[in-house]
Amino acid sequence: MQRKVMRRQDGTLDRREQEAPPDRFAPLSQDEEARLFAALPGQAHAVVTLILQTGVRLGELRAQAWRDIDLAAGVLRVTRYKTGTRVVIPLTSTACALLGALPQAGPLLFPALPWTLSTVVRTAAQQAGLHGMIWHRLRMTYLARYRHRPTS
């Protein structure tokens, strides 16, 4: 419970307990993740899985080139990172399997990623009863799960 402090008309303080609002950036629980995937259309599964496994932003994923993915070494070099710095992300076995199964039909990882995907995922999140900023929550989920993962 969180306390909310308000002023009464006479100027004295009134402390009332209220439910804390859901954290807009909280990592997804396993249950929330399952509900999200149940609500997502099939074509969005690979993108959302890759974001959960790598923490990349949607815009970075749109620009991701195959030349910057080394499945043998298990790393993804972010082609166009938001801050302009060079970022290398170790790939999980799930991410390697997903990437290995994708067709390499051009220089980009997802050459035909629809611009409406953001809306599709937000709509699925609402249908799944998820609150907050879903894209940030996906990144926070990655950070919560893999930030302290040992690298080889």
Dihedral sign (CA 104, 107, 112, 118) = positive
What is the spatial distance between Cα 91 and Cα 71, in angstroms, rounded to a whole number?
Answer: 8
Q: Which residues pair with 65 in a beta bridge?
A: 108
H-state helical runs in the chain: 30-39, 42-54, 58-63, 93-101, 117-127, 134-146
Q: What is the pLDDT of residues 106-148, one digit of tens each?
A: 999 999 888 899 999 999 999 999 988 899 999 999 999 887 6
Q: According to the model, what pLDDT value does residue 16 have?
A: 59
What would the mean pLDDT of 1-18 be, rounded to a whole number? Answer: 61
Q: According to the model, what pLDDT value does residue 18 have?
A: 46
Neighbours of 36 (CB within 10 A): 24
pTM of the model: 0.79
Q: Which 3 state secondary structure label does DSSP give 88? A: strand
- Structural domains in the chain, CATH included, are 42-146 (1.10.443.10)
Split at pLDDT 50, 70, 90, the class of 84 is confident
Q: According to the model, what pLDDT value does residue 43 have?
A: 83
Percent of the chain with pLDDT over 70: 84
Q: What is the pLDDT of residues 49-59, one digit of tens each?
A: 999 999 999 99
Percent of the chain with pLDDT over 90: 65
Residue 69 pLDDT more than 50?
A: yes
